[in-house]
Amino acid sequence: MNIILQLSRKTFNTCIRKRLLLRHLQNEQGERSLKQYCSIHTSVTLYCKTYILGIETSCDDTGAAVVDNGGNILGEALNSQTDIHVQLGGIIPPVARDLHRQNIDDVVKLAMDRAKLKYEELNAIAVTVKPGLALSLAVGINYAKDLALKFRKPLIPIHHMEAHALTPRIETRIDFPYLVLLASGGHCLLAAAQGVDQFKLIGKGQDNSPGEAFDKIARRLKLITLPGMQGLSGGAAIEQLAQRGDPKSIEFPNSLSKHPNCNFSFAGLQTQANYFIAEIEKQNDIKGPEVIPGVADFCASFQYAITRHICQRVQRGLIYSDMKELITTDKKQMVLSGGVGSNMFVRRSLEKVCKHYNFELVCPPPKLCTDNGVMIAWNGMERLNANCGVLEDESAIKLVDLEHRAPLGMDITQDVTEAGIKIRSSSKVKLL
CB closer to ligand KG4, 153 vs 164: 164
Choice from 107, 371, 382, 389 touching ligand KG4 (CB under 6 A)? 371
CB closer to ligand KG4, 155 vs 369: 369
Choice from 63, 168, 186, 205 touching ligand KG4 (CB under 6 A)? 186
CB closer to ligand KG4, 67 vs 241: 241
Q: Does 214 bind ligand KG4 (CB under 6 A)?
A: yes
Q: Which does 66 bind (CB under 5 to 8 A by kind): ligand KG4, Zn ion, none?
A: none
Choice from 265, 370, 379, 413 touching ligand KG4 (CB under 6 A)? 370
Choice from 62, 128, 184, 372 touching Zn ion (CB under 5 A)? 184
Within positions 360 to 379, which residues make up the interface with Zn ion, using CB under 5 A?
371
340 CB-contact burial (10 Å; exposed 0-12 / middle 13-18 / buried 19+): buried
CB closer to ligand KG4, 60 vs 68: 60
**Cβ of residue 338: shortest distance to Zn ion, in angstroms?**
5
**Cβ of residue 132: shortest distance to ligand KG4, in angstroms?**
8
Q: Which does 131 bind (CB under 5 to 8 A by kind): Zn ion, ligand KG4, none?
A: none
- Read off φ and ψ for residue 398, nearest 5 degrees: -65, -30
Q: Does 338 bind ligand KG4 (CB under 6 A)?
A: yes
**Cβ of residue 292: shortest distance to ligand KG4, in angstroms?**
20
Choice from 103, 123, 312, 343 touching ligand KG4 (CB under 6 A)? 343
Radius of gyration of the chain (CA): 24
**Cβ of residue 106: shortest distance to Zn ion, in angstroms?**
22
Q: Does 184 bind ligand KG4 (CB under 6 A)?
A: yes
CB closer to Zn ion, 368 vs 391: 368
Q: Does 215 bind Zn ion (CB under 5 A)?
A: no
CB closer to ligand KG4, 143 vs 345: 345
Choice from 340, 376, 390, 412 touching ligand KG4 (CB under 6 A)? 340
Within positions 46 to 65, which residues make up the interface with ligand KG4, using CB under 6 A?
59
Omega cis (within 30) before 247: no
How many other CB atoms are there within 10 angstroms of residue 21's CB atom? Answer: 16
Q: Does 339 bind ligand KG4 (CB under 6 A)?
A: yes
- The one-letter amino acid at 360: E
Q: Which segment (120-128, 337-345, 380-388, 409-417) binds ligand KG4 by CB under 6 A? A: 337-345
Give the chain as a 3 state SS string.
Answer: CEEEEECCHHHHHHHCCHHHHHHHCCCHHHHHHHHHHHHHCCCCEEEEECEEEEEECCCCEEEEEEEECCCCEEEEEEEECHHHHHHHCCCCHHHHHHHHHHHHHHHHHHHHHHHCCCHHHCCEEEEEEECCCHHHHHHHHHHHHHHHHHCCCCEEEEEHHHHHHHHHHHCCCCCCCEEEEEECCCCEEEEEEEECCEEEEEEEECCCCHHHHHHHHHHHCCHHHCCCCCCCCHHHHHHHHHCCCCCCCCCCCCCCCCCCCCCECCHHHHHHHHHHHHHHHHHCCCCCCCCCCCHHHHHHHHHHHHHHHHHHHHHHHHHHHHHCCCCCCCCCEEEEECHHHHCHHHHHHHHHHHHHCCCEEECCCHHHHCCCHHHHHHHHHHHHHHCCCCECCHHHHHHCCCCCCCCCCEECHHHHHHCCCCCCHHHCCCCC
CB closer to ligand KG4, 333 vs 342: 342
409 CB-contact burial (10 Å; exposed 0-12 / middle 13-18 / buried 19+): buried
330 CB-contact burial (10 Å; exposed 0-12 / middle 13-18 / buried 19+): exposed
Choice from 342, 349, 379, 413 touching ligand KG4 (CB under 6 A)? 342
CB closer to Zn ion, 371 vs 382: 371
**Cβ of residue 328: shortest distance to ligand KG4, in angstroms?**
29
Q: Which segment (209-217, 222-230, 260-268, 308-316) binds ligand KG4 by CB under 6 A? A: 209-217
**Cβ of residue 200: shortest distance to ligand KG4, in angstroms?**
21
Q: Which segment (34-42, 98-106, 339-347, 348-356) binds ligand KG4 by CB under 6 A? A: 339-347
| List of residues contacting Zn ion (CB under 5 A) | 184, 371
| List of residues contacting ligand KG4 (CB under 6 A) | 59, 184-186, 211, 214-215, 233-236, 239, 338-340, 342-343, 370-371
